[in-house]
Structure 1
Amino acid sequence: MRTAWWVAAGVAALALAAPAFLPHPDAVDFAGMLAGPSAAHPLGTDQLGRDLLARTVHGGRLTVGLALSAVLVTGVVGVAVGSLAAVAGPFGRAVMRVVDVLAAIPVVLFGLLAAVALGPGVGSLLVAVTVIAWTPFARQAYLLALAERQREYVTAAVALGAGPGRVLTRHVARNLVPPLAAHACVRFASTLLTVSGLSFLGLGVQPPTAEWGAMVAEGREYLFGAPQVVLVPSLAVVLTAGTALWWGRRWERVGAR
């Protein structure tokens, strides 16, 4: 587990530092359009001669940053709502019924509505991936907290006079970290695909800004002539989502110990 942390930290540091050594992602070179990999452009260029490596790195900072920010915000809100509902009795159960209704709304559909109301852009994208995306965290935290409340150590704490708030914060919360961390990794992968998908549909980040989904949309017309234009950002999405799911499995094993 420690090795995995060091690897993840190294990749993150490289992603943050790389833009300082790469060409500008919007630098156009009409003489080098759709060029294959070379020493000057290790991953080739796109339809405007822009360096694909530079655009992929810069686009990753935006795509991953949006997904990570959305998961952090929705995770905090959802875990707070679900945990409090678990100790709130009938009121908490009523809150969770509302959560169930909101959770049934597809995020992509909500993104379409947000784009119609606010117009395409980062703002509508953030609304799409945050406004109702906290509900899975709330359901997960609620079910986990209810299960933990039935354990003997909680019964003993209550018998010693601990109130609901103390039981939740001092005893239950730390046992919820591994399963909720695993759930957050899964939600990150899902949110990453949603961010990229909405941008691909033209509802999120707009060209010429480098973003993985928008890059795939821009380059799909050149798939057969210059496949790197589509394959590079597509592989970036798949590998990043796959890595998040791998981390989720690691957290599941930690929780199972």
Structure 2
Amino acid sequence: MGFVLLVAPAVLPAPDEVDFGALLAGPSLAHPLGTDQLGRDLLSRLVAGGRLTIGISVLTVLVTGVVGVAVGLAAAATGALGRAAMRLVDVLAALPVVLFGLLAAVALGPGAGSLMIAIGLIGWTPFARQTFLLALVESGREYVGAAVALGAGPVRVLVGHVGRNVVPPLLAHACVRFAGTLLTVSGLSFLGLGVQPPTAEWGAMVAEGREYLFAAPQVVLVPSVAVVLTAGTVLWWGRRWDRVGAR
């Protein structure tokens, strides 16, 4: 999928290229997935939209993951103070992302930047909670006690031993968060709070084509199936990482 998203734009027509002679056309040799209401090639727009949707999701998960893991490890290392801080994290994690999306759209205006800020404001909290719980469990293992007995300092124990052993379950968690972030990015764009037309983005493509669902189902089905398949693929990889962590 990544290879297609990187290489395909070099051989496909421009995603905003209009062909008024092929409005809402079905699949053909010229347009393998058909065209939309403006005659734009759906395959080109699917690839361009995928680069944007997946790119936003990956970048958001990376940033929120780094922040959340750092907060979780710090909370696990600070005892009662860290536990008190995690109660605040629990409150933030309960807030809906869509609400932050609305606020960000009003304050900053719709766009990719607003979308990332809206998700990132509370997107780090699940990583912090997961890291905190995993670090508490690992801190009670015998190997940690052995490292301390051999003279390892708190930072070395936290980063070199505990941090290293929570990586597999955190990778599985990151896959789950990526799937959720992908759906959130597409959903907010569908509501008009993210990337704006005519820029190709999967959620925005669904919103643009919903009026033509019965006349040309491919306009809605193509980006919708792409969202589902991408999220499902990443969740499958998350299960594999979870099994690695269990072993």
Give TM-score, length-normalised by structure 1. Answer: 0.95
Inter-partner Cα distance in structure 2 for 1:185 and 1:100 = 21
Q: Aligned equivalents of 2:219 and 2:96: distance in 1?
A: 30
Q: 1:95 maps to which residue?
A: 85
1:169-188 matches, cutoff 5 A: 169-188=159-178
Structure 1 residues 98-247: aligned runs within 5 Å: 98-247=88-237
Structure 1 residues 15-62: Cα deviation after superposition (integer angstroms, max 9, x where no partner): 201000000000011110000000000000000000000000000000
Residue number among 9, 16, 26 corresponding to 1:36 in the alignment: 26
Q: 2:9 aligns with which of 19, 37, 40?
A: 19
CA-CA distance at 1:161 after TM superposition:
2.0
Greater mean deviation of Cα atoms: 116-125 or 185-194: 116-125
Gaps of 5+ in 2: none
% identity of equivalent residues? 78
Residues 164-218 of structure 1: CA deviation (Å, up to 9, x unaligned)? 1110111111111110000000000000000000000000000000000000000
Deviates more, 1:154-163 or 1:170-179: 154-163
Q: CA deviation at 1:115?
A: 0.9
Q: Give the residue type in structure 1 aligned to 2:164.
A: R
Runs of 4 or more consecutive aligned structure 1 residues displaced over 2 Å after TM superposition: none
The CA distance in 2 between the partners of 1:41 and 1:13, in whole Å, is 20
Q: Which moved more, 1:166-175 or 1:73-82?
A: 166-175
> Mapping of 1:50-61 within 5 angstroms?
50-61=40-51
- Give, as a single letter, the amino acid of the residue that structure 2 aligns with 1:161: G
TM-score calculated relative to the size of structure 2: 0.98
In structure 2, give the amino acid aligned to 1:211.
E
**Residue in 2 that maps onto 1:8:** none
Unaligned runs of 5+ in 1: 1-10
SS at match of 1:171: helix
Whole-Å Cα distance in 2 between the matches of residues 200 and 14 of structure 1?
24
After TM superposition, give the deviation of residue 77 of structure 1 in Å: 0.4
Please give the root-mean-square deviation of Cα atoms over the aligned residues, in Å: 0.8
Whichever residue aligns with residue 133 of structure 1, its letter is: G
Aligned AA (1:194): T
Separation (CA, whole Å) in 2 of partners of 1:154 and 1:192: 37
- Over residues 54-83 of structure 1, what are the superposed CA-to-partner deviations in whole Å (9 max), with x where a residue is unaligned? 000000000000000000000000001001
Task: Give the number of aligned pairs.
Answer: 247
Structure-2 separation of matches of 1:36 and 1:13: 26
Give the whole-Å Cα distance in 1 for the aligned partners of 2:179 and 2:12. 27
Give the letter aligned to residue 17 of structure 2. A
> What amino acid sits opposite 2:33 in the alignment?
L
Among residues 64, 67, 83, which one is paired with 1:74 in the alignment? 64
